[in-house]
Each structure stands twice: as structure tokens, then as C-alpha cells.
Chain A
């Protein structure tokens, strides 16, 4: 699993890759009440605004951690957006991405580097 500086995760252990927000991100956002997911078939470039996570207080963009095509979205979030709070990096995943440039992942942080990065945020 790899992480962006904007607190998305991408798990490319299987094809397609799974994208969501990090445990740290869900904890910072607080209670999540709605997730606006991309359309299946959408072609995303790394850094594109891909989804929006709405907490009680505010809306937060989720950016594509890598380029590719959205091949599935987590339909359970329509009824249970709180899955993102309960299990952000598991059952609360957002969408699956068929990567078009897997080498982009090399520029992302692994779990240890992300943990170090979080420390710098105070």
C-alpha cells in the first residue's frame, strides 16, 4: 500500500488497484456523511479530482494517486458512508483503478515513509 501527501492510499497488490483515503485522513475529517464517487469508466490522470468525501463540517477532494480507468466504485458507501470512518483502508475503499502508468507509484510513499510524513505535520 502506498500513500500520497494528500492522504490518499493506493493498493496495487492486485489488479485493478484499490484507492481510498488513509486512516489518518478519516480521523481528521470526522464523521463522514456522503461520498461522491467517480463514474465507472472515467479516465483519470494522476492528481485529478476523483471523488469528494463530505464530513459533517466540510467537503474534501480526493485526488487520483495514479493515472488509469475507474473500473469499479464501492457501492456500499451510498447507504453507509461511515464505512470510511470505520475501516478507511479496508471496507471503506472508494474506487478501483486500472492503472495506465504503474511506474507512477514509485513516486508515492510506502507505509513507513507515510508514517514519518505524518509526524512532520504535527
Chain B
């Protein structure tokens, strides 16, 4: 086994009593002394600080924004031509059958023309970079930024904390980005709460994290609570809800494909995706709420009231803020209507569940 990589905050995690586990080749903090439930509740009530420096940050550069957007729209179904300076977009790189190679965030800096900052999943970094290197036209360039750390500050008190530590950034609109003094901050995240993701030089990360942790509202939150928070927020996780076999329409991501792209096509797998949009996909991602506390995990079969297999759970566990066991999974469209009763097979026992709309826990994004 090759040695695990660590993030620039490894020593800080140890100091705060982190329990570590390997994740995407990194030795990452799963939880600290308080435990996952307390960390989850803290993020929903105050401000949680997450180290997500394992994720892949890179620049994409082209001769102009229009030219760069043109060459990237060939690889994804998002609207990049219309991405204004200082704004961020969610997108997915697609393969020839419309399957998802990775999902990512793209940000257009306010200043530089012809440059985008991307953040991709840690476990897909190598795949993404090879995919881009092979497909970018001459004149466009990918530059990974391993010298950058990435922190997320998430929760209802994140804005008031940031106003003290990095004044000016806290006023960002949802999905807006701003750079100053080495910091590149966007207002978005992966918890369903208001909050920010903060890219900064690796050598500054520990000092910046310590300044945040001196604020009474801030606590370190591990990947364990990051997962329960994103599950309650109904957000997809690559390798679970998303894969090279699953297209964005099936995964409930049609909202990320705007009208112009639907009409024009011109992205990988366009025919499959356009058909899924016009008719009905083969399967749909749904939310499932179980009647009891027993969790159904990834891989559990979803069965109809008659006992026929109609789908599979892709993520599942106990939703601390929902107070019940919840899951996401794919089902045949005929069974995807909210309210539909079905069962999840756990250790051979059918546990009753209902289809519920996503998210399980309401989003609290900043809407100015």
C-alpha cells in the first residue's frame, strides 16, 4: 500500500484529537473528540470548519473567456459562456454516453479574462486531469494547484465569523467568488447551510484555521459529519449517486443544464441526455425516509410492496437533524413519486420507507 498523503492541517487535526481514516489517498479526519452527531449539530446551529484540502484545485486558462468557455462546453452541459466574472457554476464532466466523469465547481475570477478556477473531487483528480489534458484544445491549459489548501466554513453563523476574520468577503452573494490578499473565497458549500469555501496558500492554512477556531462559534468538523450533512441536504457524492454509468438527468441534476445547452446539445452523450430530459430516464434518484431508526446503507435493495426489486440505495444512514434513518437511491420512474411506500432490505428484513422530496433538511443558502 502506498503511503497516504496528508493535508497542510494534519498537525492541527492531531492536536484537536482527530480520528483519521484513509479517504481518496489522504489520511483525513473523520471526527474529533465531540463525535459526529455533535459536529453535525454544531454546523447546523453555528459555524463548522472543514479541511477539504484533499480536493483538486486547478486553473484552466485560455486566450479569452469566450474561447475557454467554448472549449469546455464541449466537455460538460453547463452554461459557461454565460458565466459572469465573480460567479461560480456547478457542472459535470461527461463521457460519450452521458455518464458523469466527475462533478465540480468552476469559478470565474473577477479580474483575469480567460481563466477559470476548478475544484474537483479528491478521488477523481487524476482522472479529471488526464481527461482535460487529452481534450483541451491548443491554447488552453490546465494547471493543478497543489500548493493551495481549501477550507470550508459552513453554518448560520459563518457570515458573522468571516466578517471578523476576513472583512469584505462575508458580503458575497450565493455562488459568487472574490479574491484578495491570497484568499479566494466563494459563497457555497456542501452542507445545505450558508457558508464559504476558502482557498488559500498551503503555508497560510494552519494560521488561518487557528484564527477561525479562536472565534467562539467555530469548531472543527470531520468528514463523518460532512457526509451526514450533505446526505440530509440531498447532495450527490461521486462514487455513490454519481458515476460514469449515471447521467445527470437520472441523478436529479437537470437543473444544472440550462435551456440553451438542452436545445443546442454539443456535449458528450447529448442524445441520451436530451432523450432523458424529453421523455423519462431509466431510473431516478429519490429520497427515502425510513419509518424507524434502523439505517439502510449503500447497496441495500429497494423493493416494491409486492417484494420486487425496483432499485438500490446509493447513500444511507441516520439523519441527525431529521431524526430518522434516511437514504438516497435509484428507483424505476414508476415508483419515484413522493409518498410512494416501499421497503429497503437490510440483513434480509424489509424496512418500511417512503419516497420523500429532496432535500431531507431544508437548504439555508444565502439569498441576500
Contact = CB atoms under 8 A, between A and B. Distances in A.
Interface of A: 30-31, 33-34, 36, 52, 54, 56-59, 78, 81
B295 A34 contact: yes
A57 B224 contact: yes
A36 B318 CA distance: 14
Given A31-B35, A57-B224, A78-B293, 7 more contacts: A30-B224, A33-B325, A34-B292, A36-B294, A36-B347, A56-B320, A57-B36
A34 B293 contact: yes
B347 A33 contact: no
B297 interface: yes
Contacts of B37: 31, 33, 56
Contact of A59 (B19, B30, B228, B295): B295
Nearest to B21: A57
Interface residues of B, number: 18
Contact of A34 (B19, B35, B325): B325
A82 to B, nearest CB: 8
A31 B31 CA distance: 10
A57 B297 CA distance: 9
Contacts of B98: none
Nearest to B317: A56
A59 B228 CA distance: 15
Contacts of A31: 35-37
Interface in B314-360: 317-318, 320, 325, 347
A18 to B, nearest CB: 23
A57 B224 CA distance: 7
Contact of A30 (B36, B294, B295, B320): B36
A59 B294 CA distance: 10
A54 B94 CA distance: 36
